[in-house]
Amino acid sequence: MTDTIDPDNTLVSDRNDEILSFIDEQPRIDEISSDKKAWYVLIADDDEEVHHATAFALRGVMIDTRPIRLLRAYSATEAESMLKAHPNVAVAMLDVVMETPDAGLKLVDVIRTKLGLRNLRIVLRTGQPGYAPELDVIKAYDINDYRTKSELTQTRMVTTLTSAVRAYQQLEEIQAVNRGMDSISRAANKLFRLHRMQDFAQGLFAHMAEILGTSVSGLLCIERPDFNGDDDDSGLKIHYGTGQYAPLMGCTVTQRLNADMLRSIRRCIAARTHIFEADRFLLWLGASKTDAIAVFNPGEALSPTVRKLVEMFAANLTVGFENVDLIERLNFFAHYDPLTRLPNRGRFLDQVNEDLLAHRENPRVLAVADLVRFSEVNDALGYRCGDSLLVLVAKRLRTALGPGTLLARLSGDSFGIFGQEAWIDFNVLRHAFEAPFFVHGHSLQMQIRLGMASVDDGKGNALELLRNANMALGEAHLSIGSACAHYTTELSEDAQLRIGILHSLRAAIDFQRGLSLQFQPLVEIPGNTIRGVEALLRWRNESGQMVVPARFIPLAERTGMICELGRWVLESALSRLALWQSLGHKGFYISVNVSSVQFREDDLVDKVRHALEDNDVAPSSLVLEVNGSIYVEDRPKVLKHLQRLRHIGVKIALDDFGTGGVSLDQLMELPLDIIKIDQSFVQRIGASRMNLAIVRSMVELACESGIEVVAEGVETAEQMQALIGIECHTMQGFHLCRPLSAEQLDSWLQPRI
């Protein structure tokens, strides 16, 4: 046999044994080209020599930097099986005549119709030129090329295969774009309807895998500063992860990610845009108050077409993320306290009700806890310090409580606790608060109070349990420092009684019914000269019973009714004083008690001035009595009110001196005209020399400061004589005169004109 050279300088041989022997020694291309980036090419021919020749001709050929992997079939049936197993074949080079004269043509119909491989490119080869009409075959079966085997020299084979592969790639990209656009459209609709970030993250990675055509590992990092408060664990966190990142959910990125990944994430945050790298890409999804980055690791760079699809998808992701973020934010603020991130009152009640419906057998209690004198921290150090303290208190409570115990912030410094009775131990909680709290450079020693209500004492309703616990907490407030009180039916009865009193008192104020004044003189000894008259509020309820002031005055102060009552007392007292003065009794003043609650009113001084003007009474004829509780209020405002009152001529008296908790420094700060020594000191004045010395020091202190002294509660002649002996001459008490009605005082005053 002889060798010939064709015009393409391609070696052509007829059954040359040496050449065939050389080909047989070469490794099979389909065995060595296993790269996933390879182009799959199916060779279907019943001639073994054709397979060898094709493999030899394509050995080492690269198309667009990607190698070729051959799949060999020796019949149409075998080719169909291979295509079912490898649907990603780019080109099929088919012999027309195999097991039947038209097997190749029938295989084309199977490929297009049965297998649905529309993008696969087909090159028909035949060793019998003119066997089938070339043009009709190409038109009928979408065939890329039709050649006789003798025409397919190496150059022409590579050229034909390159053209077919590129056509396949273009069709695949068009299909990928269409599939991606459809996926993006469906994904946008689904993601926009989601309300939970977890569902959004799962949908995000599922749809991204659909767009990329393969599963991909990655993670979603989120930081919500306003959700974190002062939590030490704040920062960018891994909210969701797939693949190798799945175990990292809940960790901060700085804890578990390598330096290279952290640099990419920081670049994405700083640029607030998407970043595409060689083997991964990062999408910026942040909202106005939230930083969010999705990281995907496909392991290779994206093609330009897929990258554009990803960028289009990212635009929809941003809108969907903002929607989910907004909904979660609204849900969070609706059900949780943003400062401590504990459930709020509404969520707490829902959780308790859910537990009650489960009918658990373990003894359970609901408790309400608050802090002793927390308001003083806010007043002295500011609200930022107070907020930081509450965050630390919440953490300490969480640590001290048993597992499974519900903890919530109800309001202010009030916390709700619910769980098994054995796990809510006041002694444990009190011990947990023994260590100081370090806040903004301050060491704060705080104490806790607790009100507890057993589930067995309620009516199976969370709101009822909370009401009972609050009543118990009110009892704990009566103690000094840390205290715990348990709900009893007696507390409930007392609460109902208080409600009844408040209801009746409201009606008494609105309809001016049952309210009256009694007057007790302040007498100077010796001489029984009247120095003043104290106006005392009395109230007879609808049942005709007298309600003692110690019962209804504190309730009126809690509800704010004291301001209305105080205004009525002031106007009524001044009106009566004006009448007495018109009758010739002009040598004494009238004294009216003013609650610390009234000092909260900005127009307190104006109300006093108008009452004086309306009744034509000189300001010097009015004494306003205050007690040490005014220092619980806004001190600057209190001092301002007192100074303005003295400026217009009104006198100020400190009531219950010695028991009101006013220090000497505070006493010197107050603009006082009179101090009234509390009756507890007066009544013990004769018991020992020490008691007498205490009262004497009070009198001397006041006299040296130019302040008038009045002794309250003088009930015996011995007490009166002891007071005279220490130079205290103005007194008030039953021994001198009991409280009298206006008419009775008229008679008492008559001989003293």
**pLDDT beyond 70 at 579:** yes
CATH assignment of 4-175?
A: 3.40.50.2300
CATH assignment of 345-487?
A: 3.30.70.270
- Give the pLDDT score at 618: 94
Provide long-range contacts, Cβ within 8 A and 24+ apart, for 396-403.
Answer: 396/432, 396/433, 396/437, 397/369, 397/429, 397/432, 399/432, 400/428, 400/429, 400/431, 400/432, 401/429
What share of the chain has pLDDT > 70, as a percent? 87
pLDDT of 203-224, one tens digit each? Answer: 888 888 887 878 889 999 888 7
- Give the pLDDT score at 33: 40
Tokens standing for 678?
Answer: 């509390």
For 180-194, 604-618, 692-706, which range has the lowest pLDDT when averaged over its residues? 180-194
SS (H, E, C) 709-752: EEECCCCCHHHHHHHHHCCCCEECCCCCCCCEEHHHHHHHHHHH
CA gap 258, 607 in Å, rounded:
70
Pick the CATH number of 193-335 from 3.40.50.720, 3.30.450.40, 3.40.30.10, 2.60.40.10: 3.30.450.40
CA gap 692, 108 in Å, rounded:
123
Cβ atoms of 395 and 493 closer than 8 Å: no
Model confidence band, residue 537 (pLDDT cutoffs 50, 70, 90): very high
Candidates 471, 708, 696, 698; CA nearest to 591 is 708
**Domain layout of the chain by residue ranges:** 4-175, 193-335, 345-487, 511-752
pLDDT of 434-445, one tens digit each? Answer: 999 998 888 888
Model confidence band, residue 752 (pLDDT cutoffs 50, 70, 90): low
Q: Residue 637 half-sphere exposure, CB side, CA atoms within 13 Å?
A: 14
Q: Please state which architecture CATH assigns to domain 511-752.
A: Alpha-Beta Barrel (3.20)
Calculate mean pLDDT across residues 285-290. 74
pLDDT of 500-528, one tens digit each? Answer: 888 888 888 888 889 999 999 999 988 88
CA gap 419, 39 in Å, rounded:
65
Q: Based on the number of CB atoms within 10 Å of its own CB, is 147 exposed (0-12), middle (13-18) or buried (19 or more)? A: middle
Model confidence band, residue 193 (pLDDT cutoffs 50, 70, 90): low
**Which residue do the tokens 């490119």 mark?**
121
**pLDDT beyond 60 at 27:** no
- Give the pLDDT score at 227: 59
For 175-189, 408-422, 465-479, 680-694, which range has the lowest pLDDT when averaged over its residues? 175-189
Model confidence band, residue 118 (pLDDT cutoffs 50, 70, 90): confident
Give phi and psi for 560, each to the nearest 5: 90, -5
- Give the pLDDT score at 135: 63
**pLDDT beyond 50 at 2:** no
